[in-house]
Amino acid sequence: MDSLECALKQYWGFTSLRPLQREAAAAVCEGRDVVVILPTGGGKSLTFQLPAVYANKLVVVVSPLLALLRDQAENAQNNGIDTMVWCGDTSEAVKANIERDLACATPEDMPFHLLYTTPESIRSDRVKVMLQELHNNKALLCFAIDEAHCVSEWGHDFRPAYLQLGSLKAAFPDVPTIAVTATTTENVRRGIIESLSLQNPAIMIGSFNRPEIEYRVFRKELCGDGRRDAVLEASCRSLMALVSLLAARPAESGVVYARLRTTCDWLADKLVEAGVDAEAYHAGKDPGRRATVQRAWSEGSTRVVVATVAFGMGIDKADVRWVAHWDPPSSLEGFYQESGRRLLLRYFGERREGGCDGVGGESLCDVCQDGQVSVKRDVV
Amino acid identity at 5: E
More confident residue, 350 or 104: 104
Helices 228-247 & 261-273 angle (0-180, nearest 10): 60
Amino acid identity at 172: F
- pLDDT for res 380: 31
More confident residue, 222 or 269: 269
d(CA 349, CA 220): 6
What does the CA dihedral 83, 88, 94, 100 come to, rounded to 10 degrees?
80
Burial per residue of 9-37, b for 16 or more beta-carbon CB atoms within 10 angstroms, e otherwise: eebbeeeebeebbbebbbbbbeebbbbbb
Positive/negative CA dihedral, 262, 118, 179, 154 = positive
* CB-based contact 165:62 (threshold 8 Å): yes
Q: How many CB atoms lie within 10 A of CB 309?
A: 15
**pLDDT above 50 for 98:** yes
Q: Do domains 3-205 and 214-379 have the same CATH topology?
A: yes
Task: Please choose, from the candidates 81, 47, 6, the residue with its C-alpha nearest in 3D space to the C-alpha of residue 176.
Answer: 47
* CB-based contact 350:222 (threshold 8 Å): yes
Model confidence band, residue 371 (pLDDT cutoffs 50, 70, 90): very low
- pLDDT for res 379: 33
What does the CA dihedral 129, 134, 138, 140 come to, rounded to 10 degrees?
-110
Percentage helix, strand, coil for the chain under 3-state DSSP, each rounded to 5? 40, 20, 40
Model confidence band, residue 19 (pLDDT cutoffs 50, 70, 90): confident
Q: Once rounded to an integer, what is the mean pLDDT over residues 352-374? A: 30
**What are the φ/ψ torsions at residue 265 (nearest 5 degrees)?**
-65, -45
Domain boundaries, the chain: 3-205, 214-379
CATH of 3-205, one of 3.40.50.620, 3.60.70.12, 1.20.140.10, 3.40.50.300: 3.40.50.300
Q: How many CB atoms lie within 10 A of CB 294?
A: 23
* CB-based contact 125:95 (threshold 8 Å): no
Q: Does domain 214-379 have CATH number 3.40.50.300?
A: yes
**What are the φ/ψ torsions at residue 84 (nearest 5 degrees)?**
-130, 160
**pLDDT above 50 for 366:** no
Query: What does the DSSP 8-state code read for residue 81?
Result: -
- pLDDT for res 38: 87
* CB-based contact 283:293 (threshold 8 Å): no
* CB-based contact 234:222 (threshold 8 Å): yes
Model confidence band, residue 215 (pLDDT cutoffs 50, 70, 90): low
**pLDDT above 90 for 92:** yes
CA distances from 118 to 45, 146, 239, 313 (A): 16, 10, 37, 15
Query: What does the DSSP 8-state code read for residue 164?
Result: G
Q: What does the pLDDT look like over 113-138, one tens digit per residue?
A: 999 999 999 999 999 999 999 999 99
Model confidence band, residue 185 (pLDDT cutoffs 50, 70, 90): confident
d(CA 192, CA 195): 5
Which H or E element spans position 214? strand 214-217
Q: Once rounded to an integer, what is the mean pLDDT over residues 318-331? A: 74
**pLDDT above 70 for 28:** yes
More confident residue, 147 or 354: 147
**pLDDT above 60 for 346:** no
Query: What does the DSSP 8-state code read for residue 18?
Result: P
Angle at 34 between CA 33 and CA 35, to 5 degrees: 135
More confident residue, 43 or 197: 197
CA distances from 76 to 11, 52, 94, 112, 115 (A): 9, 11, 18, 11, 11
Percent of the chain with pLDDT over 70: 73
* CB-based contact 75:159 (threshold 8 Å): no
Burial per residue of 202-228, b for 16 or more beta-carbon CB atoms within 10 angstroms, e otherwise: bbbebeeebeebeeeeeebbebeeeee
